[in-house]
Structure 1
Amino acid sequence: FSPSKINLFLRITARRPDGFHDLASLFHVIDLGDDMTFAKSSSETKDTLICNDPTIPTDSSNLVIKALDLFRAKTGVRQYFWIELDKKVPHGAGLGGGSGNAATTLFAANKLCGSPATEAELLEWSGEIGSDISVFFSKGAAYCTGRGEIVEDVEPPLDLATKMLLVKPPMGCSTPAIFKALDLDGRSKADPLELLKRIGVDGCSETVCINDLEAPAFTVLPELAELKERLKAATADKKTVVFMSGSGSTIVIVGDDDVPAFVARDDALFKAPTRLITRKPGEWY
Protein backbone atom coordinates (compact mmCIF):
# COMPACT_ATOMS: atom_id res chain seq x y z
CA PHE A 1 0.00 0.00 0.00
CA SER A 2 1.36 3.40 -1.04
CA PRO A 3 -0.29 6.12 1.06
CA SER A 4 -0.67 9.84 0.53
CA LYS A 5 -0.53 12.77 2.98
CA ILE A 6 -2.15 16.00 4.01
CA ASN A 7 -0.61 19.11 5.55
CA LEU A 8 -2.46 20.08 8.73
CA PHE A 9 -0.61 23.39 8.56
CA LEU A 10 1.98 24.76 6.16
CA ARG A 11 4.09 27.82 6.79
CA ILE A 12 6.60 29.11 4.23
CA THR A 13 9.41 30.48 6.38
CA ALA A 14 11.94 31.81 3.83
CA ARG A 15 13.03 31.87 0.22
CA ARG A 16 16.40 30.15 -0.11
CA PRO A 17 19.36 31.30 -2.23
CA ASP A 18 18.90 28.20 -4.44
CA GLY A 19 15.38 29.32 -5.39
CA PHE A 20 13.60 26.76 -3.21
CA HIS A 21 11.62 27.74 -0.14
CA ASP A 22 12.05 26.70 3.47
CA LEU A 23 8.89 25.50 5.12
CA ALA A 24 7.60 24.34 8.47
CA SER A 25 4.68 21.97 8.19
CA LEU A 26 2.79 19.31 10.09
CA PHE A 27 2.37 16.44 7.67
CA HIS A 28 0.17 13.43 8.37
CA VAL A 29 -0.07 10.25 6.34
CA ILE A 30 -3.62 9.26 5.35
CA ASP A 31 -5.36 6.08 4.22
CA LEU A 32 -6.06 7.28 0.69
CA GLY A 33 -3.42 5.53 -1.40
CA ASP A 34 -2.34 3.50 -4.41
CA ASP A 35 -1.70 -0.22 -4.59
CA MET A 36 1.79 -1.28 -5.67
CA THR A 37 3.17 -4.73 -6.47
CA PHE A 38 6.92 -5.37 -6.59
CA ALA A 39 9.00 -8.27 -7.87
CA LYS A 40 12.61 -8.78 -8.81
CA SER A 41 13.12 -8.58 -12.57
CA SER A 42 15.24 -10.90 -14.66
CA SER A 43 16.36 -7.89 -16.70
CA GLU A 44 19.91 -6.72 -16.09
CA THR A 45 19.41 -3.34 -17.75
CA LYS A 46 16.08 -1.77 -16.82
CA ASP A 47 13.12 -1.62 -14.47
CA THR A 48 9.59 -2.18 -15.77
CA LEU A 49 6.78 0.00 -14.43
CA ILE A 50 3.18 -0.80 -15.40
CA CYS A 51 0.43 1.69 -14.45
CA ASN A 52 -3.34 1.56 -14.85
CA ASP A 53 -3.43 5.33 -15.54
CA PRO A 54 -2.23 6.06 -19.10
CA THR A 55 -1.54 9.71 -18.21
CA ILE A 56 1.20 8.69 -15.75
CA PRO A 57 4.67 8.42 -17.36
CA THR A 58 6.40 5.09 -16.75
CA ASP A 59 9.88 6.15 -17.86
CA SER A 60 12.77 7.62 -15.87
CA SER A 61 10.76 10.80 -15.20
CA ASN A 62 8.55 8.85 -12.78
CA LEU A 63 9.60 9.05 -9.12
CA VAL A 64 9.29 5.25 -8.84
CA ILE A 65 12.10 4.75 -11.38
CA LYS A 66 14.10 7.61 -9.85
CA ALA A 67 13.78 5.91 -6.45
CA LEU A 68 15.09 2.61 -7.84
CA ASP A 69 18.01 4.35 -9.56
CA LEU A 70 18.77 6.11 -6.26
CA PHE A 71 18.56 2.82 -4.32
CA ARG A 72 21.04 1.13 -6.66
CA ALA A 73 23.41 4.11 -6.65
CA LYS A 74 23.48 4.30 -2.85
CA THR A 75 23.63 0.58 -2.01
CA GLY A 76 25.61 -0.83 -4.93
CA VAL A 77 22.84 -3.41 -5.45
CA ARG A 78 22.48 -4.18 -9.16
CA GLN A 79 18.98 -5.66 -9.03
CA TYR A 80 16.23 -4.40 -11.35
CA PHE A 81 12.52 -4.63 -10.59
CA TRP A 82 9.03 -5.19 -12.02
CA ILE A 83 6.47 -2.80 -10.53
CA GLU A 84 2.70 -2.59 -11.01
CA LEU A 85 1.08 0.66 -9.90
CA ASP A 86 -2.70 0.85 -9.41
CA LYS A 87 -3.21 4.61 -9.18
CA LYS A 88 -6.03 5.97 -7.03
CA VAL A 89 -4.53 9.20 -5.64
CA PRO A 90 -5.13 12.11 -8.05
CA HIS A 91 -2.06 14.05 -9.19
CA GLY A 92 -1.70 17.82 -8.92
CA ALA A 93 -3.65 17.41 -5.70
CA GLY A 94 -1.24 18.44 -2.92
CA LEU A 95 -1.52 14.92 -1.49
CA GLY A 96 1.99 13.68 -2.27
CA GLY A 97 0.79 10.62 -4.18
CA GLY A 98 3.93 10.40 -6.31
CA SER A 99 6.14 10.98 -3.27
CA GLY A 100 4.33 8.17 -1.47
CA ASN A 101 5.02 5.92 -4.47
CA ALA A 102 8.73 6.78 -4.29
CA ALA A 103 8.94 6.11 -0.54
CA THR A 104 7.05 2.82 -0.89
CA THR A 105 9.41 1.83 -3.70
CA LEU A 106 12.52 2.54 -1.62
CA PHE A 107 11.10 0.53 1.30
CA ALA A 108 10.03 -2.40 -0.92
CA ALA A 109 13.27 -2.58 -2.93
CA ASN A 110 15.26 -2.54 0.29
CA LYS A 111 13.18 -5.39 1.75
CA LEU A 112 13.39 -7.47 -1.44
CA CYS A 113 17.18 -7.12 -1.41
CA GLY A 114 17.65 -8.16 2.22
CA SER A 115 17.61 -4.67 3.80
CA PRO A 116 21.09 -3.39 2.87
CA ALA A 117 20.02 0.08 4.05
CA THR A 118 18.50 1.32 7.30
CA GLU A 119 15.23 3.27 7.30
CA ALA A 120 17.23 6.32 8.45
CA GLU A 121 19.40 6.02 5.34
CA LEU A 122 16.37 5.64 3.06
CA LEU A 123 14.87 8.78 4.64
CA GLU A 124 18.11 10.72 4.17
CA TRP A 125 18.62 9.60 0.56
CA SER A 126 15.02 10.32 -0.43
CA GLY A 127 15.58 14.07 -0.10
CA GLU A 128 17.81 13.91 -3.19
CA ILE A 129 14.86 13.18 -5.51
CA GLY A 130 11.97 14.99 -3.81
CA SER A 131 11.02 17.13 -0.84
CA ASP A 132 7.95 15.25 0.40
CA ILE A 133 9.20 11.67 0.14
CA SER A 134 10.91 11.58 3.53
CA VAL A 135 7.67 12.22 5.46
CA PHE A 136 6.52 8.68 4.68
CA PHE A 137 9.49 7.30 6.62
CA SER A 138 8.08 8.93 9.75
CA LYS A 139 5.65 7.01 11.95
CA GLY A 140 2.82 8.87 10.23
CA ALA A 141 2.77 12.30 11.90
CA ALA A 142 5.80 14.47 11.19
CA TYR A 143 6.91 18.06 11.73
CA CYS A 144 8.96 18.84 8.65
CA THR A 145 11.34 21.73 8.00
CA GLY A 146 13.94 22.69 5.39
CA ARG A 147 12.46 21.89 1.97
CA GLY A 148 10.38 19.27 3.80
CA GLU A 149 13.19 16.73 3.97
CA ILE A 150 14.05 17.35 7.65
CA VAL A 151 11.62 15.09 9.49
CA GLU A 152 10.81 15.01 13.18
CA ASP A 153 8.38 12.36 14.40
CA VAL A 154 5.58 13.77 16.55
CA GLU A 155 2.61 12.21 18.28
CA PRO A 156 -0.57 12.22 16.14
CA PRO A 157 -2.21 15.57 16.96
CA LEU A 158 -5.72 14.26 16.32
CA ASP A 159 -7.58 11.06 17.12
CA LEU A 160 -6.92 8.63 14.25
CA ALA A 161 -10.69 8.08 14.00
CA THR A 162 -11.29 11.78 13.20
CA LYS A 163 -13.64 12.02 10.23
CA MET A 164 -12.25 13.77 7.16
CA LEU A 165 -13.33 14.34 3.58
CA LEU A 166 -11.10 15.24 0.63
CA VAL A 167 -12.58 17.18 -2.29
CA LYS A 168 -10.56 18.02 -5.41
CA PRO A 169 -11.70 19.85 -8.56
CA PRO A 170 -10.67 18.45 -11.96
CA MET A 171 -7.93 21.03 -12.40
CA GLY A 172 -4.66 20.37 -10.57
CA CYS A 173 -2.20 22.88 -9.18
CA SER A 174 1.28 23.29 -10.62
CA THR A 175 3.57 23.59 -7.59
CA PRO A 176 6.07 25.89 -9.42
CA ALA A 177 3.21 28.17 -10.53
CA ILE A 178 1.88 28.38 -6.96
CA PHE A 179 5.29 29.29 -5.54
CA LYS A 180 5.78 31.86 -8.32
CA ALA A 181 2.53 33.54 -7.26
CA LEU A 182 3.52 33.51 -3.57
CA ASP A 183 3.71 36.96 -1.98
CA LEU A 184 6.22 36.59 0.85
CA ASP A 185 4.86 39.75 2.49
CA GLY A 186 1.37 38.26 2.58
CA ARG A 187 2.28 35.17 4.58
CA SER A 188 0.98 34.32 8.03
CA LYS A 189 3.15 35.55 10.90
CA ALA A 190 2.24 32.60 13.13
CA ASP A 191 5.09 30.73 14.80
CA PRO A 192 4.98 27.16 13.41
CA LEU A 193 6.20 25.67 16.70
CA GLU A 194 3.32 27.43 18.45
CA LEU A 195 0.92 26.00 15.84
CA LEU A 196 2.34 22.53 16.52
CA LYS A 197 1.78 22.99 20.24
CA ARG A 198 -1.74 24.35 19.81
CA ILE A 199 -2.96 21.60 17.46
CA GLY A 200 -1.70 18.99 19.91
CA VAL A 201 -3.69 20.58 22.74
CA ASP A 202 -6.77 22.02 21.04
CA GLY A 203 -7.02 20.14 17.75
CA CYS A 204 -7.81 21.74 14.39
CA SER A 205 -9.15 25.27 14.06
CA GLU A 206 -9.17 28.00 11.42
CA THR A 207 -6.34 29.78 13.25
CA VAL A 208 -4.15 26.68 13.45
CA CYS A 209 -4.70 24.99 10.07
CA ILE A 210 -2.90 27.76 8.19
CA ASN A 211 -1.57 27.23 4.68
CA ASP A 212 0.60 29.99 3.23
CA LEU A 213 0.09 28.50 -0.25
CA GLU A 214 -3.68 28.99 -0.19
CA ALA A 215 -3.54 32.66 -1.24
CA PRO A 216 -1.31 32.07 -4.30
CA ALA A 217 -3.27 28.93 -5.23
CA PHE A 218 -6.52 30.92 -5.07
CA THR A 219 -4.91 33.61 -7.24
CA VAL A 220 -3.93 31.03 -9.85
CA LEU A 221 -7.23 29.11 -9.53
CA PRO A 222 -10.01 31.45 -8.28
CA GLU A 223 -12.54 28.58 -8.55
CA LEU A 224 -10.58 26.82 -5.79
CA ALA A 225 -11.33 29.68 -3.38
CA GLU A 226 -15.01 29.42 -4.34
CA LEU A 227 -14.99 25.65 -3.70
CA LYS A 228 -13.47 26.15 -0.24
CA GLU A 229 -16.12 28.72 0.70
CA ARG A 230 -18.95 26.49 -0.55
CA LEU A 231 -17.57 23.56 1.48
CA LYS A 232 -17.31 25.75 4.59
CA ALA A 233 -20.89 26.91 4.18
CA ALA A 234 -22.21 23.40 3.51
CA THR A 235 -20.55 21.93 6.62
CA ALA A 236 -20.67 24.89 9.02
CA ASP A 237 -23.36 23.29 11.20
CA LYS A 238 -21.01 20.37 11.88
CA LYS A 239 -18.22 22.56 13.27
CA THR A 240 -15.78 21.51 10.58
CA VAL A 241 -12.42 23.05 9.72
CA VAL A 242 -11.77 23.48 5.99
CA PHE A 243 -8.38 24.16 4.37
CA MET A 244 -6.23 23.36 1.35
CA SER A 245 -3.56 20.64 1.52
CA GLY A 246 -0.02 21.31 0.30
CA SER A 247 0.12 23.34 -2.90
CA GLY A 248 -3.42 22.21 -3.82
CA SER A 249 -5.80 21.59 -5.36
CA THR A 250 -7.35 19.30 -2.70
CA ILE A 251 -9.55 20.86 -0.04
CA VAL A 252 -9.64 19.00 3.29
CA ILE A 253 -12.68 18.96 5.59
CA VAL A 254 -11.83 17.92 9.16
CA GLY A 255 -14.66 16.89 11.47
CA ASP A 256 -17.11 15.29 9.04
CA ASP A 257 -16.96 12.92 6.08
CA ASP A 258 -20.51 13.22 4.75
CA VAL A 259 -20.40 14.36 1.13
CA PRO A 260 -22.25 17.69 0.74
CA ALA A 261 -25.13 17.55 -1.75
CA PHE A 262 -23.52 19.92 -4.27
CA VAL A 263 -20.35 17.79 -4.25
CA ALA A 264 -22.31 14.54 -4.68
CA ARG A 265 -24.09 16.01 -7.71
CA ASP A 266 -20.84 17.06 -9.43
CA ASP A 267 -19.17 14.07 -11.11
CA ALA A 268 -16.15 16.22 -11.99
CA LEU A 269 -15.20 16.56 -8.32
CA PHE A 270 -12.96 13.90 -6.76
CA LYS A 271 -14.25 13.05 -3.29
CA ALA A 272 -12.92 10.57 -0.74
CA PRO A 273 -13.56 10.06 2.97
CA THR A 274 -10.20 9.57 4.69
CA ARG A 275 -8.53 8.91 8.05
CA LEU A 276 -5.11 9.55 9.51
CA ILE A 277 -2.83 6.49 9.70
CA THR A 278 0.46 5.57 11.38
CA ARG A 279 3.01 2.78 11.09
CA LYS A 280 5.47 0.91 13.29
CA PRO A 281 9.21 1.02 12.53
CA GLY A 282 10.19 -1.85 10.22
CA GLU A 283 6.65 -2.13 8.87
CA TRP A 284 4.92 -0.22 6.09
CA TYR A 285 1.47 1.32 5.98
Structure 2
Amino acid sequence: MTASKPLPDSASAITPQKWDLTLSSPCKINLFLRIMGERPDGFHELASLFQSISLRDTIHFSKKSPHGSAPDQDTLECDKQGVPTNDSNLVLKALAKFRERTGVEQYFHVRLEKRVPFQAGLGGGSANAATALWAANVLADKPCTNKQLAEFGAEFGSDVSFFLSSGTAYCTGRGEVLEDVQPLPQESLFIIKPNEGLSTAEVFKTLKMEDCSDRDPRQLLDKMRAGVISAEYVNDLEVPSFKLLPRLAELKEKLKDAGFKNPLIQKQKQLRPENFGRTKVDLI
Protein backbone atom coordinates (compact mmCIF):
# COMPACT_ATOMS: atom_id res chain seq x y z
CA MET A 1 0.00 0.00 0.00
CA THR A 2 1.35 3.42 -0.87
CA ALA A 3 1.34 6.46 1.40
CA SER A 4 -1.51 8.90 1.94
CA LYS A 5 0.66 11.91 1.18
CA PRO A 6 -0.52 13.78 -1.93
CA LEU A 7 1.15 12.54 -5.11
CA PRO A 8 1.29 13.82 -8.70
CA ASP A 9 -1.89 13.15 -10.66
CA SER A 10 -2.14 12.38 -14.36
CA ALA A 11 -5.13 14.74 -14.61
CA SER A 12 -2.71 17.58 -15.35
CA ALA A 13 -2.47 16.27 -18.91
CA ILE A 14 -6.10 17.15 -19.62
CA THR A 15 -6.33 20.59 -18.01
CA PRO A 16 -6.22 23.50 -20.47
CA GLN A 17 -4.16 25.74 -18.19
CA LYS A 18 -0.50 25.07 -17.48
CA TRP A 19 -0.15 24.29 -13.80
CA ASP A 20 2.98 24.21 -11.67
CA LEU A 21 1.77 21.18 -9.71
CA THR A 22 -1.20 18.80 -9.82
CA LEU A 23 -1.93 16.49 -6.88
CA SER A 24 -4.48 13.89 -5.83
CA SER A 25 -6.30 14.59 -2.57
CA PRO A 26 -7.69 11.33 -1.12
CA CYS A 27 -10.43 10.98 1.48
CA LYS A 28 -10.67 8.55 4.39
CA ILE A 29 -13.01 6.36 6.36
CA ASN A 30 -13.13 5.59 10.08
CA LEU A 31 -12.94 1.83 10.57
CA PHE A 32 -14.01 2.42 14.15
CA LEU A 33 -14.71 5.58 16.12
CA ARG A 34 -14.91 5.69 19.90
CA ILE A 35 -15.76 8.91 21.71
CA MET A 36 -13.92 8.68 25.02
CA GLY A 37 -15.19 11.83 26.74
CA GLU A 38 -15.39 15.60 26.68
CA ARG A 39 -12.27 17.75 26.93
CA PRO A 40 -11.78 21.04 28.80
CA ASP A 41 -11.21 22.83 25.46
CA GLY A 42 -14.73 21.96 24.27
CA PHE A 43 -13.65 19.18 21.91
CA HIS A 44 -14.16 15.46 22.47
CA GLU A 45 -11.43 12.92 23.10
CA LEU A 46 -11.63 10.23 20.45
CA ALA A 47 -9.94 6.98 19.51
CA SER A 48 -10.29 5.93 15.90
CA LEU A 49 -8.69 3.93 13.12
CA PHE A 50 -8.42 6.13 10.02
CA GLN A 51 -7.92 4.58 6.60
CA SER A 52 -7.38 6.59 3.43
CA ILE A 53 -9.04 5.22 0.28
CA SER A 54 -8.78 5.75 -3.46
CA LEU A 55 -11.74 8.14 -3.80
CA ARG A 56 -10.10 11.52 -4.27
CA ASP A 57 -10.26 15.09 -5.47
CA THR A 58 -7.70 16.56 -7.87
CA ILE A 59 -6.11 19.93 -7.09
CA HIS A 60 -4.03 22.09 -9.46
CA PHE A 61 -1.66 24.78 -8.17
CA SER A 62 0.08 27.69 -9.90
CA LYS A 63 2.42 30.19 -8.27
CA LYS A 64 1.29 33.78 -8.73
CA SER A 65 3.61 36.25 -10.37
CA PRO A 66 4.17 39.54 -8.49
CA HIS A 67 3.27 41.29 -11.76
CA GLY A 68 0.08 39.31 -12.47
CA SER A 69 -3.55 39.63 -11.40
CA ALA A 70 -4.19 39.86 -7.62
CA PRO A 71 -0.56 38.99 -6.82
CA ASP A 72 -0.96 39.36 -3.05
CA GLN A 73 -3.88 37.00 -2.49
CA ASP A 74 -4.66 33.34 -3.09
CA THR A 75 -7.50 32.57 -5.49
CA LEU A 76 -9.54 29.38 -5.68
CA GLU A 77 -11.92 28.00 -8.29
CA CYS A 78 -13.95 24.78 -8.11
CA ASP A 79 -15.82 22.71 -10.66
CA LYS A 80 -18.70 21.91 -8.25
CA GLN A 81 -21.42 24.33 -7.17
CA GLY A 82 -21.88 24.73 -3.43
CA VAL A 83 -18.20 24.52 -2.55
CA PRO A 84 -17.07 27.84 -1.01
CA THR A 85 -14.14 29.48 -2.78
CA ASN A 86 -13.64 32.26 -0.22
CA ASP A 87 -11.48 32.35 2.91
CA SER A 88 -13.75 29.81 4.64
CA ASN A 89 -12.35 27.06 2.40
CA LEU A 90 -9.66 25.00 4.14
CA VAL A 91 -7.43 25.15 1.06
CA LEU A 92 -7.07 28.92 1.45
CA LYS A 93 -6.73 28.58 5.23
CA ALA A 94 -3.89 26.11 4.69
CA LEU A 95 -2.03 28.39 2.27
CA ALA A 96 -2.40 31.32 4.68
CA LYS A 97 -1.16 29.16 7.57
CA PHE A 98 1.87 28.08 5.51
CA ARG A 99 2.86 31.72 4.90
CA GLU A 100 2.23 32.64 8.53
CA ARG A 101 4.43 29.85 9.88
CA THR A 102 7.24 29.97 7.29
CA GLY A 103 7.43 33.62 6.27
CA VAL A 104 7.41 32.54 2.60
CA GLU A 105 5.49 35.27 0.76
CA GLN A 106 4.20 33.20 -2.14
CA TYR A 107 0.57 33.27 -3.30
CA PHE A 108 -1.22 30.73 -5.47
CA HIS A 109 -4.05 30.20 -7.90
CA VAL A 110 -5.78 26.89 -7.21
CA ARG A 111 -8.34 24.81 -9.08
CA LEU A 112 -10.21 22.15 -7.10
CA GLU A 113 -11.86 19.31 -9.03
CA LYS A 114 -14.24 17.91 -6.45
CA ARG A 115 -15.18 14.22 -6.42
CA VAL A 116 -15.40 13.52 -2.70
CA PRO A 117 -18.94 14.30 -1.44
CA PHE A 118 -19.26 16.97 1.25
CA GLN A 119 -20.87 16.47 4.68
CA ALA A 120 -20.21 12.75 4.35
CA GLY A 121 -17.68 12.23 7.16
CA LEU A 122 -14.97 11.39 4.62
CA GLY A 123 -12.63 14.24 5.51
CA GLY A 124 -12.56 15.74 2.02
CA GLY A 125 -11.99 19.30 3.23
CA SER A 126 -9.20 18.26 5.59
CA ALA A 127 -7.60 16.24 2.80
CA ASN A 128 -7.68 19.30 0.53
CA ALA A 129 -6.02 21.37 3.27
CA ALA A 130 -3.24 18.81 3.70
CA THR A 131 -2.72 18.72 -0.06
CA ALA A 132 -2.45 22.52 -0.13
CA LEU A 133 0.18 22.48 2.63
CA TRP A 134 2.13 19.82 0.74
CA ALA A 135 1.92 21.75 -2.53
CA ALA A 136 2.95 25.08 -0.98
CA ASN A 137 5.97 23.41 0.59
CA VAL A 138 7.03 21.77 -2.69
CA LEU A 139 6.59 24.98 -4.68
CA ALA A 140 8.55 26.93 -2.04
CA ASP A 141 11.51 24.51 -2.34
CA LYS A 142 10.56 22.48 0.75
CA PRO A 143 11.45 24.70 3.72
CA CYS A 144 9.43 22.42 6.05
CA THR A 145 9.56 18.80 7.12
CA ASN A 146 6.48 16.62 6.83
CA LYS A 147 6.19 16.68 10.63
CA GLN A 148 6.10 20.48 10.60
CA LEU A 149 3.38 20.50 7.93
CA ALA A 150 1.33 18.11 10.08
CA GLU A 151 1.75 20.47 13.04
CA PHE A 152 0.55 23.41 10.92
CA GLY A 153 -2.48 21.43 9.81
CA ALA A 154 -3.43 20.45 13.36
CA GLU A 155 -3.78 24.15 14.21
CA PHE A 156 -6.90 24.56 12.05
CA GLY A 157 -8.27 21.03 11.49
CA SER A 158 -8.31 18.03 13.80
CA ASP A 159 -7.72 15.40 11.11
CA VAL A 160 -5.62 17.41 8.62
CA SER A 161 -2.40 15.86 9.89
CA PHE A 162 -3.68 12.35 9.08
CA PHE A 163 -3.59 13.15 5.36
CA LEU A 164 0.17 13.71 5.67
CA SER A 165 0.65 10.26 7.22
CA SER A 166 1.27 6.78 5.81
CA GLY A 167 -2.43 6.15 5.08
CA THR A 168 -3.50 3.92 7.99
CA ALA A 169 -3.31 5.39 11.49
CA TYR A 170 -4.69 4.99 15.01
CA CYS A 171 -5.78 8.49 15.98
CA THR A 172 -6.38 9.92 19.44
CA GLY A 173 -6.75 13.37 20.99
CA ARG A 174 -8.97 15.41 18.68
CA GLY A 175 -7.78 13.18 15.84
CA GLU A 176 -4.42 14.90 15.48
CA VAL A 177 -2.33 12.44 17.53
CA LEU A 178 -1.27 9.72 15.09
CA GLU A 179 0.20 6.25 15.45
CA ASP A 180 1.01 4.68 12.09
CA VAL A 181 -0.49 1.23 11.54
CA GLN A 182 0.61 -1.41 9.04
CA PRO A 183 -1.70 -1.76 6.00
CA LEU A 184 -4.77 -3.88 6.71
CA PRO A 185 -6.00 -6.96 4.82
CA GLN A 186 -7.95 -6.49 1.61
CA GLU A 187 -11.61 -5.51 1.89
CA SER A 188 -14.21 -4.50 -0.67
CA LEU A 189 -15.75 -1.09 -0.08
CA PHE A 190 -18.92 0.58 -1.28
CA ILE A 191 -19.66 4.20 -0.38
CA ILE A 192 -23.27 5.34 -0.43
CA LYS A 193 -23.93 9.06 0.07
CA PRO A 194 -27.55 10.22 0.52
CA ASN A 195 -28.51 13.66 -0.76
CA GLU A 196 -28.83 14.93 2.80
CA GLY A 197 -25.83 15.94 4.89
CA LEU A 198 -25.23 16.48 8.58
CA SER A 199 -23.44 19.27 10.41
CA THR A 200 -20.60 17.87 12.50
CA ALA A 201 -21.31 20.44 15.21
CA GLU A 202 -24.95 19.31 15.40
CA VAL A 203 -23.95 15.65 15.60
CA PHE A 204 -21.61 16.29 18.54
CA LYS A 205 -24.22 18.53 20.18
CA THR A 206 -26.72 15.65 20.01
CA LEU A 207 -24.21 13.09 21.33
CA LYS A 208 -24.88 11.61 24.79
CA MET A 209 -22.00 9.75 26.39
CA GLU A 210 -24.34 7.10 27.83
CA ASP A 211 -25.19 6.08 24.25
CA CYS A 212 -21.54 5.38 23.42
CA SER A 213 -20.00 1.93 23.18
CA ASP A 214 -17.89 0.56 26.03
CA ARG A 215 -15.52 -1.27 23.68
CA ASP A 216 -11.82 -0.85 24.38
CA PRO A 217 -10.37 0.94 21.32
CA ARG A 218 -7.02 -0.82 21.71
CA GLN A 219 -8.77 -4.18 21.55
CA LEU A 220 -10.65 -3.03 18.45
CA LEU A 221 -7.34 -2.01 16.90
CA ASP A 222 -5.76 -5.39 17.71
CA LYS A 223 -8.69 -7.22 16.08
CA MET A 224 -8.49 -5.03 12.99
CA ARG A 225 -4.77 -5.78 12.73
CA ALA A 226 -5.59 -9.49 13.01
CA GLY A 227 -7.92 -9.23 10.03
CA VAL A 228 -11.25 -9.19 11.89
CA ILE A 229 -12.44 -6.04 10.15
CA SER A 230 -16.11 -5.94 9.17
CA ALA A 231 -17.27 -7.56 12.42
CA GLU A 232 -15.64 -4.84 14.53
CA TYR A 233 -17.14 -1.66 13.09
CA VAL A 234 -18.05 0.67 15.95
CA ASN A 235 -19.04 4.32 15.51
CA ASP A 236 -20.22 6.25 18.55
CA LEU A 237 -21.62 9.00 16.34
CA GLU A 238 -24.15 6.68 14.70
CA VAL A 239 -26.80 7.18 17.40
CA PRO A 240 -26.79 11.02 17.27
CA SER A 241 -26.62 10.89 13.47
CA PHE A 242 -29.68 8.63 13.36
CA LYS A 243 -31.53 11.00 15.71
CA LEU A 244 -30.82 13.95 13.44
CA LEU A 245 -31.46 12.09 10.19
CA PRO A 246 -33.64 8.98 10.75
CA ARG A 247 -33.31 8.06 7.09
CA LEU A 248 -29.73 6.98 7.81
CA ALA A 249 -30.98 4.28 10.19
CA GLU A 250 -33.47 3.12 7.56
CA LEU A 251 -30.69 3.05 4.96
CA LYS A 252 -28.48 0.95 7.22
CA GLU A 253 -31.26 -1.62 7.68
CA LYS A 254 -31.90 -1.75 3.93
CA LEU A 255 -28.21 -2.38 3.32
CA LYS A 256 -28.26 -5.24 5.81
CA ASP A 257 -31.31 -6.69 4.07
CA ALA A 258 -29.41 -6.43 0.77
CA GLY A 259 -26.59 -8.57 2.13
CA PHE A 260 -24.10 -6.04 3.51
CA LYS A 261 -22.96 -7.60 6.78
CA ASN A 262 -22.27 -4.50 8.86
CA PRO A 263 -22.71 -1.14 7.12
CA LEU A 264 -20.69 1.60 8.79
CA ILE A 265 -22.15 5.09 8.98
CA GLN A 266 -19.41 7.72 8.67
CA LYS A 267 -19.48 11.00 10.56
CA GLN A 268 -16.44 12.45 12.24
CA LYS A 269 -14.50 15.60 11.77
CA GLN A 270 -12.96 17.51 14.65
CA LEU A 271 -1.51 10.48 0.01
CA ARG A 272 -2.20 8.26 -0.69
CA PRO A 273 -3.08 4.60 -0.67
CA GLU A 274 -4.29 3.89 -4.17
CA ASN A 275 -6.84 1.80 -2.36
CA PHE A 276 -7.73 0.18 0.95
CA GLY A 277 -5.76 -3.06 0.74
CA ARG A 278 -6.02 -2.99 -3.08
CA THR A 279 -9.74 -2.47 -2.72
CA LYS A 280 -12.16 -1.39 -5.41
CA VAL A 281 -14.13 1.62 -4.18
CA ASP A 282 -17.57 2.26 -5.65
CA LEU A 283 -19.39 5.54 -4.96
CA ILE A 284 -23.14 4.99 -5.21
Q: TM-score, normalised by structure 1?
A: 0.84
**Which of 144, 149, 156 matches 2:176?**
149
1:210 paired residue number: 234
1:272 aligns with 2:280: no
> Per the alignment, do residues 81 and 107 of structure 1 end up closer, same or farther by CA in structure 2, a change over 3 Å counting?
same
Residue 235 of structure 1 and its aligned partner are, at CA, apart by 1.8
Output the CA distance in 1 between the equivalents of 2:227 and 2:190: 20
Q: Judge conservation of contact 1:217–1:247 (CA < 8 Å) in 2.
A: no
1:282 paired residue number: none
Residue 157 of structure 1 and its aligned partner are, at CA, apart by 2.2
1:226 aligns with 2:250: yes
Identity of aligned residues (%): 49
1:191 aligns with 2:192: no
Output the CA distance in 2 between the equivalents of 1:68 and 1:6: 25
Moved over 2 A (4+): none
Q: Judge conservation of contact 1:165–1:272 (CA < 8 Å) in 2.
A: yes
Residue 44 of structure 1 and its aligned partner are, at CA, apart by 3.5
2:188 paired residue number: 163
1:29 aligns with 2:56: no
Trace 1:90-101 onto structure 2 (pairs within 5 A). Answer: 90-101=117-128
Give the counterpart letter for 2:264 in structure 1: F
Output the CA distance in 2 between the equivalents of 1:117 and 1:172: 36
Q: Judge conservation of contact 2:130–2:161 (CA < 8 Å) in 1.
A: yes
Query: Structure 2 stretches of 5 or more lacking a match?
Result: 1-23, 270-276
Residue 49 of structure 1 and its aligned partner are, at CA, apart by 0.5
What is the DSSP-based 3-state SS (H/G/I as helix, E as strand, rest coil) of the residue aligned with 1:32?
strand
Output the CA distance in 2 between the equivalents of 1:186 and 1:246: 16
Give the counterpart letter for 2:188 in structure 1: K
1:15 aligns with 2:38: yes
Q: Residue by residue, what CA displacement relative to the aligned partner does 1:188-216 show, whole Å, maximum 9, x if unpaired?
A: 0111111000111133133x210000000
2:265 paired residue number: 244
1:172 aligns with 2:183: no
Output the CA distance in 2 between the equivalents of 1:13 and 1:124: 23
Trace 1:255-270 onto structure 2 (pairs within 5 A). Answer: none
Q: Judge conservation of contact 1:214–1:247 (CA < 8 Å) in 2.
A: no
Q: Residue by residue, what CA displacement relative to the aligned partner does 1:108-146 show, whole Å, maximum 9, x if unpaired?
A: 110011000000000111111111111111100011100
Q: TM-score, normalised by structure 2?
A: 0.84
Q: Judge conservation of contact 1:10–1:246 (CA < 8 Å) in 2.
A: no
> Per the alignment, do residues 105 and 230 of structure 1 end up closer, same or farther by CA in structure 2, a change over 3 Å counting?
same
Residue 104 of structure 1 and its aligned partner are, at CA, apart by 0.5
Q: Judge conservation of contact 2:185–2:227 (CA < 8 Å) in 1.
A: no
Q: Judge conservation of contact 1:157–1:203 (CA < 8 Å) in 2.
A: no
Output the CA distance in 2 between the equivalents of 1:31 and 1:150: 23
Tell me how many residue pairs correspond in the alignment: 249
Give the counterpart letter for 1:184 in structure 2: M
Residue 169 of structure 1 and its aligned partner are, at CA, apart by 0.6
Residue 257 of structure 1 and its aligned partner are, at CA, apart by 6.8
Q: Judge conservation of contact 1:48–1:81 (CA < 8 Å) in 2.
A: yes
Query: Structure 1 stretches of 5 or more lacking a match?
Result: 249-253, 259-270, 274-285
1:262 paired residue number: none
Output the CA distance in 2 between the equivalents of 1:88 and 1:202: 30
Output the CA distance in 1 between the equivalents of 2:71 and 2:280: 47
Output the CA distance in 2 between the equivalents of 1:88 and 1:257: 16
Give the counterpart letter for 1:151 in structure 2: L
**Which of 69, 79, 83 matches 1:52?**
79
2:8 paired residue number: none
Q: Judge conservation of contact 1:141–1:156 (CA < 8 Å) in 2.
A: yes
Residue 14 of structure 1 and its aligned partner are, at CA, apart by 1.1
Output the CA distance in 2 between the equivalents of 1:202 and 1:126: 31
Higher relative contact order (CA 8 A, sep 6+): 2
RMSD over aligned Cα atoms: 1.8
